[in-house]
């Protein structure tokens, strides 16, 4: 099982120096990948009365693909979007950006996609919130074609391309697409279409039921569920590092191919502090690094 880190988007300095130091330290500590969350805009609670989303306009987010273009030159970590809110974006532009990052990172990009929950963001980006699930399926199919074929014609709804293609094509053809999924339709969709998935529940708290729905979707599409990757997430625990080791072990026992350590929400407020938390985790997990 590969162990990575969650980039502390909202709790790290926005300048390039601390970001570089954090990513380079994560690699030295022996972590395999860096996963970044995605939000383009935050809502203003003073305007949107009753706002109860986990983030607002004061929550700092670096755009994942731009961030990855920077990190591709600095580390050999796998770069993971976890997850990109795909239906609020133009598909062809995402294909181009991701292909460029994959080339710069020499094939070390993995794209997680999801539907998102922030209708304010969708409105600002000029995309419909209500039909985002249907559009996601069409987008995934088109992304894979654009990353694999020199010339693409797609006359579907809502995606349309006529005799056009990317140059240069990415190293990975196609780039792996993983799904973030929580509810039953999304879990079955992940089984049908994804290369892997990010559970929103953990071992003993709904993972078994979620995995069964993913497997159901895969089998209905004639796919082998065992071939899908699964990435768990473990937050820096209140109960100490023994709890962290136990949680990581539970994900491994559950068949996870990857797990990411999230140090946000644990009182750290700088790249240096998050790096020190990672160092504690790496030592407890027996990773090779320093």
pLDDT tens-digit series, residues 140-155: 999 999 999 999 999 9
235 near 266, Cβ under 8 Å?
yes
Query: pLDDT tens-digit profile of 188-208?
Result: 999 999 999 999 999 999 999
Most confident of 52-56, 134-138, 238-242, 246-250: 246-250
Tell me, what's the pLDDT at 157? 82
pTM of the model: 0.96
Over 60: is that where the pLDDT of 167 sits?
A: yes
How large is the average pLDDT for residues 260-284?
Answer: 96
How far is Cα 103 from Cα 100, in angstroms, rounded to an integer? 5
- What does the pLDDT look like over 203-259, one tens digit per residue? 999 999 999 999 999 999 999 999 999 999 999 988 889 999 999 999 999 999 999
Q: Tell me the chain's radius of gyration from C-alpha atoms.
A: 19
- pLDDT above 60: residue 81: yes
- pLDDT over 60 (residue 290): no
pLDDT confidence of residue 279: 96
282, 31 contact by CB (below 8 A): yes
């Amino acid at each position: 099982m590969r162990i990575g880190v969650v980039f502390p988007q909202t709790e790290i300095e926005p300048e390039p120096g601390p970001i570089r130091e954090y990513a380079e330290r994560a690699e030295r500590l022996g972590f395999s990948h860096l996963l970044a969350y995605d939000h383009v805009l935050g809502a203003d609670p003073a305007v949107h009365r009753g706002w109860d989303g986990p983030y607002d306009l004061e929550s700092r987010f670096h755009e994942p693909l731009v961030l990855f273009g920077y990190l591709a030159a600095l580390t050999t970590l796998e770069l993971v979007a976890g997850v990109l809110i795909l239906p609020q974006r133009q598909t062809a532009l995402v294909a181009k950006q991701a292909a460029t990052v994959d080339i710069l990172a020499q094939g070390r990009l993995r794209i997680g996609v999801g539907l998102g929950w922030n209708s304010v963001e969708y409105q600002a980006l000029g995309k419909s919130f209500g039909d985002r699930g249907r559009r996601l399926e069409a987008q995934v199919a088109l992304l894979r074609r654009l990353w694999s074929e020199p010339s693409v014609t797609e006359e579907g709804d809502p995606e349309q391309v006529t005799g056009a293609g990317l140059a240069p094509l990415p190293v990975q053809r196609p780039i792996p697409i993983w799904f973030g999924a929580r509810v039953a339709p999304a879990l079955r969709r992940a089984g049908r279409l994804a290369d892997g998935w990010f559970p929103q529940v953990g071992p003993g708290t709904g993972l078994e039921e979620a995995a069964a729905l993913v497997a159901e979707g895969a089998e209905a599409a004639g796919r082998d569920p065992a071939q899908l990757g699964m990435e768990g997430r473990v937050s820096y625990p209140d109960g100490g590092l023994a709890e962290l080791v136990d949680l990581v072990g539970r994900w491994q026992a559950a068949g996870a191919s990857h797990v990411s350590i999230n140090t946000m929400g644990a009182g750290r407020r700088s790249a240096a502090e998050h790096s020190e938390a990672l160092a504690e985790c790496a030592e407890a997990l027996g990773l090779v690094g320093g």
